[in-house]
Structure 1
Amino acid sequence: MTRLFLTLSAALLAGNAAFAEPQHGIAMYGDPALGQGFEHLPYANPDAPKGGEIVFGETGGFDSLNPYIIKGRSPWGVQAHVVESLMGRNWDEPFSLYGLLAETIETGPNREWVEFTLNPAARFSDGSPVTVEDVVWSMEILAEQGRPNFRSSWDKVESWEQTGERSVRFNLTGGDLELPLILGLRPILKKADWEGQDFAESTTRPLIASGPYVIGDFEPNRYIEFDRDPDYWGADLPFNKGRHNLDTIRYDFFGDAAAVWTAFTAGETSIFREGNITKWREEYTFGRAERGEIAQSVVPHQRPSGMNGFVFNTRKDIFSDWRVREALILAFNFEWINDRLNESAYPRITSYFANSQLAYEGVPTGLELALLEPYADDLLPGTLEGYALPKSTGDVRNRRNLRKATALLEQAGWTIDGGTLVNAEGEPFRFEILLRSTANEAIANIYADALTRLGIEVEINLIDGAQYTERRNAYDYDMIVNRWSLSLSPGNEQRFYWGAEGVETPGTRNYMGVNSPAVDAMIDAILTSSTNEEFVAATRALDRTLTAGRYTIPFWFIPVSRIAHDSSLTFPEALPIYGDWIGFMPDVWWSESSE
């Protein structure tokens, strides 16, 4: 791919002005909600005091400080607090970006190019200016040596041009209206900071970036601190007013969820996200809670449920037949499990975009049907006719669904021989559920017990985080538990999640091995939608195709976040539509003890 590096003449710049005007922000469809000159994000408190700290308890660990490559495990905080992008996201809109490192953005009439002009004040933490050279190098190195999703987007950039001292234009292949926004969210690193370094190799060398925090004290696999930069260049930007209030953000790492809970009750950490409704109601009686040192906050949200559940690796022959997958979905007695583990408090995930306007309903019509019809011969039963997850009576025996499961398994060539389910060659139906956390051990044990009634042998293997990550990246498993958190603005990441390239390319999030022309086509339709109507139809069609593909056994979702936290920590009354999500905690929280 040709990379052009040239400066356009003043005449050419004047000609371009006829096509577009620099803007303070950009939306996926229409105009961004916040106009030029907005004072702060709607869910930030511009009067929040600065100071204090927050300590998170996390399971697992880290052995790298480069979060953009496949090798190693990096703490989330590096990309969340240290590294910035050209544009920043407002989490009170489906998908709109506003100037951050870039002062303005402009695009061609069909978004066939995008131009960013850097803020003249933009600086890295060492005081050096952020330059066009840093921007382009970052995008190129991420595409060449970073995670696969960086490459897939950069492949749609035909060339780039430096159009001024602080401006750069990316000429795009076209057909992907989201691509200008994706480029606006790419992490921008300091080129000189990586001289003599192998970017693709895991390292614990603290990187230099431009964000509100710098990497402080750390010990791999134990803890890491992020210190607020008192000289942060962007502190007074409207986009940042009321954000980044805490002086220190610390992550402590523990071996399992039980240790995280113990640390919280002992006062070693500040925050605990509670997913167990019974525990939330009955077990917050420990000393700190009784003394009023702990607050229990409920934060609602309006985002899609996403997908969380058991994942079939369809690369394995044992799960390649949809009838087998449907049988194992039938064997999962959700109603009884939900009652036993959650007092039936949580609704089931019914599709990937449930709980939102992007979820499919009934049978497809109109634009959605038109998108799916060309692939009718390849779609699994139920896609066009209407598919819904099976329900049980809530009885522990689940006899009706197990009878249906047995019939489907027989159709797929699996029969009972001496109490064991075998195929025509006499090979037993046997597989492994790979876990990295005890959090899902109870549900796995319940499910494994149910499968024994079908003659299926299940081994549950709990391994450490490093082994789990390595095996997951290589797709070396039969079944895992995974969560895909989905947004109200699905786009290019959908190809990273379900695109056919991920069947063989390691390191994607296509953990189930989806290899469907229809799925790829629906992703294309999302990316090329020119109206909200087209976008919604394409997303519903994708949702329908994935759900009817029987790639997962969905668990439940929680339409609110239950957060137990130090009573000195608080957040604004105005909440983003995404709720407890990226950009909320710790971004707009503050410590009242610092007032």
Structure 2
Amino acid sequence: MMADYFARRTVGALALGAILACGGIASAEPAHGIAMYGAPALPPDFHHLPYANPDAPKGGRLVTGETGSFDSLNPHILKGSVPWQLRFLAYESLMGRSWDEPFSLYGLLAETIETGPNRDWVEFTLRDEARFSDGSPVTVEDVMWSYETLGTEGHPRYRGAWSQVESMEQTGPNKIRFTFATDDRELALIIGMRPILKKAQWEGRDFASSGLDVVPITSAPYVIDDFEAGRFVSLKRNPDYWGKDLPFMTGQANLDEIRMEFFGDGTVQFEAFKAGALNALRENNAEKWETQYDFPAVQRGDVVKSEIPHGRPTGMTGFVMNTRHGVFADWRVRAAMIHAFNFEYINETMTGSRQPRITSYFSNSDLAMSAGPAEGRVRELLEPFADDLLPGALEGYALPEGDGSARNRRNIRAAMGLMEEAGWTVQDGVMKNADGQPFSFEVVLNQGAGEEQSIIDIYVQALQRMGIAPRVTVIDSAQYNERVNRFDFDMTFFRRGISLSPGNEQRLYWGSDAATQEGSRNLMGMQSPAADAMIDTLLNATSREDFVAASRALDRVLTTGRYVIPIYQWNISRIAHAKELTFSETTPVYGDWIDWMPNAWWWQDQ
């Protein structure tokens, strides 16, 4: 299975290179799917996705655990805390994404997609048979209302694409066309991925303020069957789901129930899994996976330990520093914080050194920056911004390495030197500036984030040796989300996944406009003309050279910005699950990603 996976990954990478080298191939007529570059891998008459089992039986249930709480069922607005799965399992879009290709979409609510010669417009034809869970048809009116509402009242993640739509119009009984105001080849795909809501359900209601008062009517294969605020949400498979025979859905949505149970912390969640209250659990800690998954259910074979490989970039996981606050505005201070973070010791303590460190935002892929000085096309792209780039972007940069000891003396000395350069020195045992003000900051963490709290506890001890005593504030999910959305923190835990086809989401993560928009995902508050330019190049690349060079250049800008203290990467996914929960040996190139579990899993009675 592993050899087959890497063979497919290599072939997929070569295929992507070939189609990128050929430039974008625009659709000249309605098509069954679309790819960011070239043609989608599956033909018009495909039967099912490569990683779905068309013969999978229907039935069974998946019960997973989450830490924290929730107070809303609407994942499309800024207000409230929502089970993250609802956004992907309880709603459908015009097109569905295959996780076995860098970025390809196939018809879901839409039967066909058509684009202009330069992708300056995109047109969708809705399926006649598309229905909401109450049996009513999905109409062009529902689609248009959904797009406008999400783009104006919805979560900030929807507003960027909507702001680039020049016009939206009905062009036939089941047709809708979007014309774009900017050159952005990815918009045709992004627009196809917006959730479609039932307009009539929201008439007379305040969409932006809804919480638990509205159980959504959607077209998805799963509907919310039951819930208790902060405790659990149960989704049931709709036996009358309109799209069960579509090629895209064949072999997917097999389980009768998906239930999410919520716990105060990860320890209680793990004990619930061991006791059988949950039947699947993702484990992010390699040491725990090796040493604590030997309880009786595993020994009996009732619980199976599965490791799922993937070929996607690492993304970034760690602790982000908010540059909007003066304490972390100076890059030298951020660099000092990274030096003081004793990764080698923390990794040994937390994982037995089993998990390698994330080295950059696109590491584990050919989109990652290379070691040493920037060269070739990457240097060409960065040179115009040379005066604004931070040290290392052009010359080369690597994270500091410690000697593995608890004291980390060499890196602590380097951190002290950087703090002194930034105007901070130890006075009477306390790090202070020239005015005698102590260096202080707050680390805000979500209740239940036990591993992150343990890491921060070790980190705080190192900072105390530098005369720095940060405040660590642990709050419940609702308060945490509210504070993060308002950027009301100095440092917090941070995770951003990166796809094999980075695009418009990069603007949401690191774009200058997003830095001032509350609720955006630009938590560090970075405003970098170089990063903005690299994202623009990514979005409009028509050659593999420019696409890869722009991602590698962006990686240099982000990594040398020293915005995040990276921790370890997850180059495989570890899932412990009931032996009846089954998945195909053919796993997607993205591995365990977004909705692969549960959509491609099934229940196999033993």
Q: Within 5 A, what are the aligned runs for 1:279-318?
A: 279-318=288-327
Aligned-partner Cα distance in 2 for 1:357–1:293: 39
Instruction: In structure 1, give the amino acid aligned to 2:154.
Output: G
What is the aligned partner in structure 2 of residue 129 from structure 1? 137
- Please say if 1:556 is aligned against 2:568: yes
Structure 1 counterpart of 2:416: 406
Please report the TM-score for the alignment, with normalisation by the length of structure 2: 0.94
State which of 475, 485, 490 in structure 2 corresponds to 1:478. Answer: 490
Whole-Å Cα distance in 1 between the matches of residues 433 and 453 of structure 2?
28
Q: Given residue 402 of structure 2, which amino acid in structure 1 is its aligned partner?
A: S
1:28 aligns with 2:36: yes
Q: Aligned residue for 2:287?
A: 278
Residue 208 of structure 2 corresponds to residue 196 of structure 1: no
Q: Distance in 2 between matches of 1:379 and 1:285?
A: 50
- Tell me the amino acid that sits aligned with residue 70 of structure 1: L
- SS of 1:377's equivalent in the other structure is coil
**Over aligned residues, Cα RMSD in angstroms?**
1.3
The letter for the 2-side match of 1:389 is: L
Corresponding residue of 2:8: none
Q: Which residue of 2 aligns with 1:541?
A: 553
Amino acid at match of 1:364: A
C-alpha displacement of 1:366: 2.4
The alpha carbon displacement at 1:473 in A equals 0.5
Does the residue aligned with 1:84 lie in a helix, a strand or coil? coil
Residue identity (%): 58
Residue 461 (structure 1) aligns with: 473
- What residue is the counterpart of 2:273 in the other structure? 264
Q: Which runs of 4+ in 1 moved over 6 A?
A: none
Deviation sequence 1:14-44 (CA, Å, 0-9, x none): xxxx982101000001110111101110000
Between 1:251-260 and 1:363-372, the stretch displaced more is 363-372
- Structure 1 Cα separation of the partners of residues 232 and 506 of structure 2: 32
Identify the residue that residue 149 of structure 2 maps to in structure 1.
141
Matched, 1:452 2:464: yes
2:61 to 53, 59, 65: 53
Whether contact under 8 Å (1:438, 1:462) holds in the other structure is no
CA contact (8 A) 2:91 2:195 kept: yes
Distance 2:580 2:27 in 1: 51
CA distance in 1, matches of 2:29, 2:152: 32
Partner of 1:491: 503
- How far did 1:118 drift? 0.6
Identify the range of structure 1 (361-370 vs 383-392) with the bigger mean alpha-carbon deviation: 361-370
| Residue 544 of structure 2 is aligned to residue 532 of structure 1 | yes
Q: Secondary structure at the match of 2:596?
A: coil
Q: Which residue of 2 aligns with 1:8?
A: none
- SS of 2:85's partner is helix
Amino acid paired to 1:153 = A
Cα contact 1:29–1:531 (8 A) shared by 2: no
**C-alpha contact 1:111 1:174 (8 A) present in aligned 2:** no
Equivalent residues of 2:89, 2:595 under 8 A apart: no
Q: Which of 570, 574, 579 is equivalent to 2:586?
A: 574
Structure 2 alignment gaps of length 5 or more: 1-25
Aligned to 2:15: none
| Structure 2 letter corresponding to 1:410 | E
Figure out how many residues of one structure are paired with residues of the other and give that number: 577
C-alpha deviations, 1:260-317, integer Å up to 9, x for none? 1011011001111112222222222323222221000111111111111111111111
Q: Of 253, 259, 262, which residue of structure 2 is paired with 1:250?
A: 259
Tell me if structure 2 keeps the 8 A contact 1:572–1:589: yes
Maintained 8 Å contact 1:88/1:98 = yes
Q: Secondary structure at the match of 1:339?
A: helix
Q: 1:81 aligns with which of 67, 83, 89?
A: 89
Cα-to-partner distance string for 1:457-503 (whole Å, 9 max, x where unaligned): 11222111111111110011111011111111111111111111222
Aligned to 1:380: 390
Shift of residue 46 of structure 1? 0.4
Q: Say which SS state the counterpart of residue 225 (structure 2) adopts.
A: strand
Counterpart residue identity of residue 137, structure 1: W
DSSP-derived class of the 1:408 partner: helix
Alpha-carbon distance in 1 for matches of 2:473, 2:211: 29
What amino acid maps onto 1:420 in structure 2? V
Q: Is the 8 A contact 2:27 2:114 kept in 1?
A: no
Q: Deviations over 1:381-418 (max 9, x none)?
A: 11111111111121221111111111111111111111
Please name the residue that 1:353 is paired with: 362
1:187 is paired with a residue whose SS is: coil
**3-state SS of paired residue (1:39):** coil
Amino acid at match of 1:477: F
Q: Distance in 2 between matches of 1:125 and 1:271?
A: 27
Aligned residues of 1:61 and 1:73 also touching (Cα < 8 A)? yes
Q: 1:186 aligns with which of 159, 184, 194?
A: 194
Structure-1 separation of matches of 2:477 and 2:523: 17
1:332 aligns with 2:344: no
Task: Say whether the 8 Å CA contact 1:300–1:579 is kept in structure 2.
Answer: yes
Q: Secondary structure at the match of 2:482?
A: helix
Query: Alpha-carbon deviations, 1:339-388, whole Å to 9, x = none?
Result: 12111111100001110111011322222222111111101011111111
TM-score by length of 1: 0.95
- In 2, the alpha carbon distance for the partners of 1:555 and 1:278 equals 15
- Note the alpha carbon deviations across 1:515-564, whole angstroms, 9 max, x for none: 11111111111111122321111111111100000001100012111111
